[in-house]
Structure 1
Amino acid sequence: MTHVRPATRGDVSTILRFVKELAAFEREPDAVKADAAMLEAALFDEHAAEAVIAESDGEAAGFALFFHNFSTWTGRKGLYLEDLYVTQDARGKGVGTALLRHLAGIAVARDCARFEWSVLDWNADAIRFYRKMGAEGMDGWTVQRLSGAELTRLAG
């Protein structure tokens, strides 16, 4: 049985470990620049995002990190899932489903118009799983990003 609960400050090292495992899975093992202090501040001091932990058999088996965005078209906030990760051993055991259901419940309780996230186009297993949950792909949209020197240059 999987239990999903809000993350606490005591979970920060587990969240950071999961973020690093997710980065490795997504073929970017050296991309994580966050450290425990940064995550703790963002989650519990600045409230920039929220996280939940999925536990299975008393062990952390996955997590989700999310925050609110806003749709001018609906005039309402939405829930944006930044990261969802389930450990290798826990995959296929309902942990991902439990996390998505929990977040959908938060979105409904908070009157969000949408629950959205991105997925790498090569991650066919995840895409199949999300379609099974009722998600639809947003064909025709691509993510755009400014960071580092390009962000600084544009800012002037």
Structure 2
Amino acid sequence: MNGIKIRHATSKDVTVLFDLIMAIAKHHNQEAYVLTDKDELLKEGFGEAPKFYVLLAEYEKEIAGYLSYTWNYSIWNGKNYMNLDDLFVKEKFRGLKIGQELIQRAKSLCANESSGLMRREVEKDNHKAIQFYNRLGAKMVEKGIFRWI
């Protein structure tokens, strides 16, 4: 894996995780939309019944990025599917295939759950992300997303 190690985050990683969340928000100029904090992440992600999971990528023992996901259920498919939330690699580690390794590990986890379906939402104008996911074998399905707040 060329110095890349992928592992699940633990409660000891909450500060690192929060920093990564803020880094991706800053990258997209969306810091104002981050409403969570470290206590919330600890409670909801690392308690008895986690609501989300996180894969951390280390490159030469330094945290390089992360992928967060949840498990949802599809009534039509009759099974769980993995919903990818965030995928982020720090700028200094880009080009080292860390994002690809995170996706591959997520695909492995998905297969182990006998799910076979991963889902990722991408902004229509995020052409780099669309190319990245296409290169890794994902197919874009255009649907409208409605939100109630």
Q: TM-score range by the shorter chain?
A: over 0.9
Counterpart of 2:75 (choices 68, 72, 82) is: 72
Counterpart of 1:37 (choices 14, 36, 39) is: 39
Matched, 1:131 2:134: yes
Note the C-alpha offset of 1:52.
Answer: 1.1
CA RMSD of superposed structures (Å):
1.0
Matched, 1:26 2:32: no
SS at match of 2:31: coil
Q: Is the 8 A contact 1:3 1:55 kept in 2?
A: yes
Matched, 1:83 2:86: yes
Identical aligned pairs, as a percentage?
25
Counterpart of 2:56 (choices 34, 53, 56) is: 53
Note the C-alpha offset of 1:80.
Answer: 0.5
Counterpart of 1:114 (choices 107, 114, 117) is: 117
Per the normalisation by structure 2, the TM-score is 0.94
Counterpart of 1:15 (choices 14, 17, 27) is: 17
Aligned length: 146
Per the normalisation by structure 1, the TM-score is 0.90
Amino acid at match of 1:70: Y
The worse-fitting range, judged by mean Cα deviation, of 58-67 and 26-35 is 26-35
Query: Over residues 49-68 of structure 1, what are the superposed CA-to-partner deviations in whole Å (9 max), with x where a residue is unaligned?
Result: 11110000110000111111
Match of 1:5 in 2: 7
C-alpha separation in 1, matches of 2:24 and 2:125 = 15
Structure 2, unpaired ranges of 5+: none
Counterpart of 2:98 (choices 88, 95, 102) is: 95
Note the C-alpha offset of 1:124.
Answer: 1.1
